[in-house]
Amino acid sequence: MTKTTFRIRRPFMDDAQAVCDLVAACDTEDLGAPDIVLDDVLDMWSRFDLENNVWVVEDTDSVLIGYAFLEEDSEEKLFSCGCVLPTARGRGVGSALVAALEARAAALRNESGVSKRLQSMIPTLCEDAVRLLEAQGFAPVRYFKRMGIRLDAEPAAAALPEGFAIEPFVKGRDEQAVYDAYVESFADHWDFAVPPFEKWVEKTQLPTFDGRWWLIARDPKGVVAGFALGRMREDLLFIEQVGVRRPFRGRGLALALLQCVFETSYRAGQQLVSLGVDAANPSGAYRLYEKAGMKPDHEISIYEKSFPFRPNEISYH
């Protein structure tokens, strides 16, 4: 009989720093550098169902060696991510986490009566993760590039179209207008699901939110034409989304928003700016970021597995 050398449990808030350290160790092994800070974990956990959608794995010495979460993106799409401490790989921890994710996906399918798609994000070059997911019936569906720039000198001033202006987001005034622009801008992006306004606006209510890093482009009439939504971390300014509404595209507004982000970050003393981009984005975003001076760093793969709803296969006890 094989002795169990780890156990899966639900996390406690006191685990947040250990989870951050675990993910940072995995990032260093798989990506070359950490890509997480404690505030990232705390922000995510404030939105997650910790009791049902988050797992940690600890060894016999109570050291965390594995972590995974599942997020209910839409009625039919589930997004997940997991990692295993490099020194603990090959012991079945990853398989146990994938099994937990699949069991939760199946339970959500059965509870809702709606078929589910479970997506999982892994580093493209992490061969053990690729083998694990493919062995469980997952298949790659999309690839994303992480791009970045180091601002060693003051960047050039943003070249705005005539009559346009860029300004910081103001809480209590801009939520609905930016949400509407976000939904319109991303409507033609791969696998985009419109979030309810109430859920989307939660990110502006987090303790770490700072409107200085959400920049809004307005046309001469004051209409929101585009946006660049970022968050300042200890190690870099991360741009979560850049979008321009369709009527305003082709005028250089996205590039101007990026240039303004660079200026703002540089003046705040942060030289590193980073973002993620869909490698197959039809809007040409990858080329735009290259034009702005950003360089590719690493690639992330999105794998997916379907959990179709078949009422006759569900047993009730």
268 half-sphere exposure, CB direction, 13 A CA radius: 19
**What is the model's pLDDT at position 3?**
58
Q: What is the DSSP letter of 208?
A: T
**What is the model's pLDDT at position 316?**
45
**What is the model's pLDDT at position 267?**
96
**Contact criterion met (CB below 8 Å) for 277 and 147:** yes
Token pair listed for 219: 């046309």
Category of 158 on φ-ψ map: left (φ > 0), alpha (ψ -120 to 50) or beta: beta
Task: Kindly give the confidence (pLDDT) of every residue in the chain, 317 residues in length, as a single tens digit, with 9 standing for 90 and above.
Answer: 345 689 999 999 999 999 999 999 999 999 999 999 999 999 999 999 999 999 999 999 999 999 999 999 999 999 999 999 999 999 999 999 999 999 999 999 999 999 999 999 999 999 999 999 999 999 999 999 999 999 999 998 999 999 999 999 999 999 999 999 999 999 989 999 899 999 999 999 998 899 999 999 999 999 999 999 999 998 899 999 999 999 999 999 999 999 999 999 999 999 999 999 998 876 678 999 999 999 999 999 999 999 999 876 554 44
What residue ranges define each of the domains in the chain, with the CATH number in brackets? 6-144+302-313 (3.40.630.30), 153-270 (3.40.630.30)
Strands 295-307 and 116-123: antiparallel
Per-residue exposure over 228-261, b if at least 16 CB sit within 10 Å of its own CB, e if not = bbbbbbeebbbbeebbbbeebbebbbbbbbbbbb
Burial class (CB in 10 A: 0-12, 13-18, 19+), 84: buried
pTM of this prediction? 0.90
